[in-house]
Amino acid sequence: MDKEYYRIGTDGHTAVHHQLLTVVGSLLVLPKNRREAADNAEILHRYAALFARLHAMTPEEMHQLTRRLASAVEVRVSLPDLQAAVDGMTTDSERRSLHLQRCEWLIQHGGSNCMILLLCCEVSPQDIRQMRQEMKLPVRKGRIPALPLEERLSVLESWRLGADEADTFVRYQKLAAQYPQYSLGQLYCTVCCSGEAA
């Protein structure tokens, strides 16, 4: 099925319309990339004399030509591609919002900055710093206390049993619910030191 296009005329009298025509005039004489040259090969051949004339024009002549281009130029916007771009922005915004919520939860439960950056790729170090300041939960300094051996083995067994969970964040959430007596930092270190981190 052919793509649907929204057509934009350039015969308006706003500054934007004039700028658009100026850009189009310039694009006509710029070197063509491979795709543009291939898509327009037949036309470029048929109107070779016209394009040669355009290339020979002075800036002043191009400026005069711009005033006459309104009836010759139409902008087409592919609506399926526009829809995909808009949906992509929505998805990106929703993903960032989700990762900020997860970042807050990780900070509340003692997650380290390293852990947060690993699990929340839409969150920056600056975001984490600002959130820690707002929550009054700075980075904990010093070595994270190791779990007793039996507890480490128990945590690792629980981690292995949760391997079917594809979302690593959710997997750590479940682990934290099973071992509320330990911080996420301790659980994360236990899993990482074993070499079993997802």
Contact 175, 158 (CB under 8 A): yes
How many CB atoms neighbour CB 19 within 10 A? 11
Q: Is 70 exceeded by the pLDDT of residue 2?
A: no
What's the pLDDT band for 33 if we cut at 50, 70, 90?
confident
The pLDDT value recorded for residue 11 is 81
How crowded is the C-beta side of 39, counted as CA atoms within 13 Å?
Answer: 5
What's the pLDDT band for 175 if we cut at 50, 70, 90?
very high
Q: How far apart are CA 27 and CA 40, in angstroms?
A: 14
pLDDT digits (tens, 9 = 90+) for 105-155: 999 999 999 999 999 999 999 999 999 999 999 998 888 889 999 999 999
The pLDDT value recorded for residue 115 is 93
pLDDT, average across residues 17-21: 85
pLDDT, average across residues 7-24: 83
Residues in CB range of 40: below 8 A, 6 or more apart: 32
The angle, 0 to 180 degrees and rounded to 10, between the axes of the packed helices 15-29 and 59-66 is 130
pLDDT digits (tens, 9 = 90+) for 34-84: 888 898 999 989 999 999 999 999 989 988 888 888 888 888 899 988 888
What's the pLDDT band for 99 if we cut at 50, 70, 90?
very high
Residue type, 124: S
The pLDDT value recorded for residue 29 is 85
The pLDDT value recorded for residue 197 is 63
0.75 surpassed by pTM? no
CA 47-48-51 angle, to 5 degrees, is 90
Q: Is 70 exceeded by the pLDDT of residue 1?
A: no
